[in-house]
Amino acid sequence: MKEKQLVTSVSLPEAEAGLWRGKRAEIMLFSERYLRIQMRNQIRRAVTRKYNRGAEGKFAIVTTRFAPTEYDTLHFVAAALRVSVSLLIYGLIQLWKKPSRRAIRRFFSINYSADSEGWDVSAGFLEEIITFWAVENPGDPPPVPSHSPDL
């Protein structure tokens, strides 16, 4: 059974919007590598969210679909770094555009999970975990990620 897709939108420079529309699945294969690179940065707190406004030219709003695990993983990293998911997607596209990066196959897999210990008017306790592990045989298909529990 095919996993339900979540429909949302991202804001991208028009040139990258066309790439994202045509190559989204291929670009997303590089998400593990890109998110690991981003997670070398410090967690940002007491700052406002950063958006991808640095690119020149016109922007386009692109309707896109993500598997729930992709969506949750992107939001986890975006929230920790106080950046928009659109900025992460823009950076992912920039990584994918480098031919030397595309020549390297993926060697890591990723798993996101969340557990709500409590969520009500008195308090909120939420634990989110993202785990990367090395793929022993890069030619093999990646393992199926577990789904985050419903909160």
CA 93 centroid distance within chain: 11
Residue 91 domain-assigned (yes or no): yes
Residue 144 domain-assigned (yes or no): no
Residue 129 domain-assigned (yes or no): no
Query: Which own/partner contact pairs does 89-92 have at CB distance under 8 Å and 24+ positions apart?
Result: 89/10, 89/12, 89/20, 90/12, 90/13, 90/16, 90/52, 90/55, 91/34, 91/38, 92/27, 92/28, 92/30, 92/31, 92/34
Q: What is the pLDDT of residues 63-94, one digit of tens each?
A: 999 999 899 999 999 999 999 999 999 999 99
pLDDT at 146: 47
Nearest alpha carbon to residue 79 among 110, 126, 45: 45
Domain assignment of residue 84, given as a range? 6-104
pLDDT at 135: 73
Q: Average pLDDT in the 22-35 region?
A: 91
Answer whether 23's CB lies under 8 Å from 96's CB.
yes
pLDDT at 110: 78
| Mean pLDDT of all residues belonging to the chain | 83
Residue 84 domain-assigned (yes or no): yes
Return the residue matching tokens 């897999």. 109
Return the residue matching tokens 């785990």. 131
Residue 47 domain-assigned (yes or no): yes
pLDDT at 39 over 50: yes
Residue 78 domain-assigned (yes or no): yes
Q: Average pLDDT in the 8-33 region?
A: 92
pLDDT at 147: 45
For residues 50 and 27, which has the higher predicted lDDT (pLDDT)? 27
> What's the domain count of the chain?
1
For residues 9 and 107, which has the higher predicted lDDT (pLDDT)? 9
Proportion of the chain in helix, strand, coil states, percent, rounded to 5: 35, 25, 35
Nearest alpha carbon to residue 37 among 100, 86, 108: 108
pLDDT band at 46 (very low <50, low <70, confident <90, very high): confident
Residue 18 domain-assigned (yes or no): yes
Q: Specify the DSSP class assigned to residue 84.
A: -
Answer whether 16's CB lies under 8 Å from 24's CB.
no
Residue 35 domain-assigned (yes or no): yes
pLDDT at 151: 37
Q: How far apart are CA 31 and CA 136, in angstroms?
A: 18
